[in-house]
Amino acid sequence: MYELIIAAFVLLSLILYALLGGADFGGGMWDLLACGPRAEQQRKAIAAAISPIWEANHVWLILVIVLLFSAFPPAFAALMTALHIPITLMLTGIVLRGSAFIFRKYDSQGVGVRHRWGAVFGAACFFTPFFQGMVMGALTTGQIRCVDGQVTTGFFAGWLTPFAFACGVFAPVLFTFLAATYMTLYTRAEPALQNDFRRRALGSGLALGPVALAVFLTSKTGAPEMFHGLTQWWAPLLLTGTSLCAGTALLALWRRWFVLARIAAAAQVALILAGWGCAQYPNLITPDVTLHNSAAPEATLRLLTFALSAGAVLLLPALIFLFRLFSHPDNDRDAPPKSEP
C-alpha cells in the first residue's frame, strides 16, 4: 500500500516538474531561437519570467530522486547504473543551463559575451530535456535487464533506440509549447510580444502531433509493454482527454483566450505523463524492476509517507506564495520595456 502512495507522489512530482521546470527549459529554447525586430525584448521577457522561480522549480526533480533512493533503492541503483551516460549528460545540461543563465546576467555586459552565454544557456535547455525524454523512454523499452539486483545488459541498452530517441525529441517540443503558451499571459501588457509568443505556441503545438505519432508508432516494437498498456480500457478515455486539451489549447491560442490556453496546455502535459505512469505500472524499469520487488521495508515506506505529508504542509504554501509574489510582470523590476507592434 505505502509503495503505491509513494509512487503516486513520484508521478505527481514528475508532472509538476514538467509543468514548471519544463516550461523553464522551453523558455530557454525560445531564448536561443529569439528572432525578428523584438528578439532582445523576447529574451528579456523570458529572463524576467524565469529569474525568480527557476531554482525553486527543480525542487520537484530533487524530490523524485530522493523518493526513488529512499523508497525503491534497488530500482534507483539499477537506473543510475544502466542509464548513467544519459543521466550524466542531463545533469551536465542542468548545471550549464543554470551557470550560463547567471553568468549572462552578471558577467561583462558586452554584446559578444552576453550572446555566448545566451547560446550556452539555450543549447543546454535543448539537450537537457532531450536526454530526460530518452531516459523516460528507456525505462519502458524492456531492454534493460536486471538479475538479482544487477544490471546485465550494459550501459547502452534501452536509450539508444528509435523509441527512446522519439521520446527525447518529444520532450523539448512539448516544453517549447508549454513555455510559449505561458508567455502569452506573462506578456499580456505587451500586445506585440504576446503575439510573438502566440505564434510560437501555435507552431510548436501543431508540431506535437507528428512527434507524438512517432512516439506511438515506435512504441509498438520499441516498448511493447508500454504499447500494450496504451491499449487498455482506460487508454481511449485518456487519449480523448489529451486530444480535447490539445485542441482546446490550440483553439484558445487562435482566438486569443490565453487563460484558457494555459489551463488546457497544462492539463495536456499532465495527462500525457499520467498516461505514461499508468501504462508503465507496476514497472519502474520494464520488465524486471517493479514497485513491489524493489520497495524498501514497510517501516521505511510508512515513515517516508508521513514525512511527505508533513512536508507538503510546509512546502506547498511556500511555493504558492513564491509564485504569486514573483510570477507577475508588474512585480518584476527587470520586466521588458514597452515595445511597439
Q: Report the number of distinct structural domains present in the chain.
A: 1
What are the pLDDT digits (tens) for 115-144? 899 999 999 999 999 999 999 999 999 999
The boundaries of the domain holding residue 37 are 2-140+154-331
Which CATH number fits the domain that encloses residue 169? 1.20.1630
Domain membership flag for residue 278: yes
Contact in structure between 139 and 280 (CB atoms under 8 Å): yes
pTM (whole model) above 0.85:
yes
Domain membership flag for residue 26: yes
pLDDT confidence of residue 166: 96
pLDDT confidence of residue 333: 42
pLDDT confidence of residue 142: 94
Domain membership flag for residue 148: no
Amino acid at 125: C
Question: Half-sphere exposure of residue 267, counting CA atoms within 13 Å on the CB side?
Answer: 19
Gap between the Cα atoms of 299 and 203, Å rounded: 50
What are the pLDDT digits (tens) for 78-91? 999 999 999 999 99
pLDDT confidence of residue 236: 86
Residues of the chain with pLDDT under 50: 331-341
Domain membership flag for residue 338: no
Domain membership flag for residue 149: no
**In terms of Cα–Cα distance, which of 183, 210, 172 is closest to 22?**
172
Integer angstrom CA distances of residue 186 from 144, 168, 176, 197 = 42, 28, 15, 10
pLDDT confidence of residue 332: 47
Domain membership flag for residue 15: yes
Strand partners for 290: 283
Strand partners for 70: none
Give the DSSP letter of residue 280.
H
- SS3 of residue 151 by DSSP: strand
Domain membership flag for residue 327: yes
Domain membership flag for residue 65: yes
